[in-house]
Amino acid sequence: MATTALPSQPASPPALSQPRRTPLGMVKSIFFPVSPTYLLMVIPAVLLFTFFIMYPAVQGAIWSFTNFVGYGTSRFIGLANYKAAFADPTVRDSYGFTLLFAVVACVFTNVVAMALAIGLNARIRWRAGFRTIFFLPMVLSGLVVSYIFTFILSTSVPIISGAIHFAPLESSILANQNTAWIGIVLVASWVAIPGAIIIFLAGLVSIPSEVYEAASIDGASAWRQFQKMTFPLLFPFFIINTILTFKGFLNVYDIAVGLTGGGPGTATTSVAMTIFNGFFNGDYAYQMANAVIFFLITLLFAIFQLSVIRRRGGSL
């Protein structure tokens, strides 16, 4: 009986040996994980950030431990500037106003921006036109907006209130120490709301319409849909807006200068105004210490906000 010869199996190629990594190759993989071409493209931005942000910040932090007045020589005085800043009532008042303003303006901005974003995302007539109108404040300068609202709040509103005999607004709210901060909150929020709306709209667009259709079939009301679906799905965007707006409001300067100039008295003097004005009064090192304290407080708020995100299981 004839047997059929089986075809010979091709010999498997020899296993390729892994190239041995040299110490130089390991160093390159750690410090140059991408092509050097990409690193060369980053160098201009790194240089600009180093010389215009990092170097002044480090130099200012060093000067905060001296008696430097902006020129001439200086000597090391330790923590004297920091102790004086904590004991200065003017500095404490500026922090009190800034934190109160930032918290109230942040809450007001995000609540109004979310409501407007939901309205602008609905199927309404002239939606594109309304979006354009609401985004206009973004293109205006803060000082220009401040001067316009100064005229409105100090002239137009009192005249109209006097004509209709509405006593609370017959005088300018910017001239009252107890109400001037409210005017700054309203104007600063008016400027910040469009940016927050854009972020909320990006979140609303990412929510599938099928989710709301299923909820409507189940009989969920509009408030129930917002409470159980819209807000939980928008929470990461809400956190982003909170971080951005709160950080921006902590640094309030131009709007406060344009509306009240820090007055009446020092009732609306922000931390940024205190630092800036001190530079021109020979308190350079002292205000640098104030700036370092302000930076650390801002950093603590940022760490707290990020910890909230991690506890919620979200990410930026």
For residue 194, what are the CA distances in angstroms to 132, 191, 306, 307? 10, 7, 24, 27
Residue 173 falls within a domain, yes or no? no
Tokens of 274: 């205190």
User: 284, 291 in Cβ contact below 8 A?
Assistant: no
Residue 172 falls within a domain, yes or no? no
The DSSP bridge partners found for residue 262 are: none
Same structural domain, 270 and 235: yes
Residue 163 falls within a domain, yes or no? no
User: 134, 197 in Cβ contact below 8 A?
Assistant: yes
For residue 116, what are the CA distances in angstroms to 2, 131, 184, 200, 301? 89, 9, 21, 9, 27
Same structural domain, 199 and 286: no
This prediction's pTM: 0.80
User: 295, 307 in Cβ contact below 8 A?
Assistant: no
Same structural domain, 241 and 293: no
Residue 274 falls within a domain, yes or no? yes
List CB contacts of 35: < 8 A, sequence separation 6 or more.
none
| pLDDT for the residue 100 | 94
Same structural domain, 309 and 243: no
- Give the tens place of pLDDT for each residue, 242-298: 989 998 999 999 999 999 988 888 899 999 999 998 888 878 899 999 999 999 998
Residue 44 falls within a domain, yes or no? no
Helix H segments across the chain? 23-31, 36-49, 55-63, 80-87, 89-121, 127-135, 142-151, 157-163, 180-205, 209-217, 222-225, 231-250, 254-259, 271-279, 284-311
User: 316, 239 in Cβ contact below 8 A?
Assistant: yes
Same structural domain, 218 and 188: yes
| pLDDT for the residue 250 | 92
| pLDDT for the residue 124 | 75
Same structural domain, 227 and 310: no
List, for the chain, all residue ranges whose pLDDT scores fall below the cut of 50: 1
Total residue count of the chain as it appears in this document: 316
Residue 27 falls within a domain, yes or no? no
Same structural domain, 188 and 313: no
- Give the tens place of pLDDT for each residue, 205-231: 888 888 888 888 888 888 888 888 888
| pLDDT for the residue 5 | 53
Full domain range(s) for residue 111: 99-149+178-281
| pLDDT for the residue 18 | 54
Residue 17 falls within a domain, yes or no? no
Sign for the CA dihedral angle at 171, 176, 182, 186 comes to positive
Same structural domain, 219 and 292: no
Residue 91, exposed/middle/buried by CB under 10 A (0-12, 13-18, 19+)? buried
Same structural domain, 67 and 209: no
Residue 127 falls within a domain, yes or no? yes
Same structural domain, 83 and 196: no
What is the total count of domains within the chain? 2
Same structural domain, 296 and 230: no
Same structural domain, 62 and 206: no
Q: Which amino acid is at 10?
A: P
| pLDDT for the residue 315 | 55
List CB contacts of 173: < 8 A, sequence separation 6 or more.
153, 157, 179, 180, 182, 183
Report the CATH number at residue 209: 1.10.3720.10
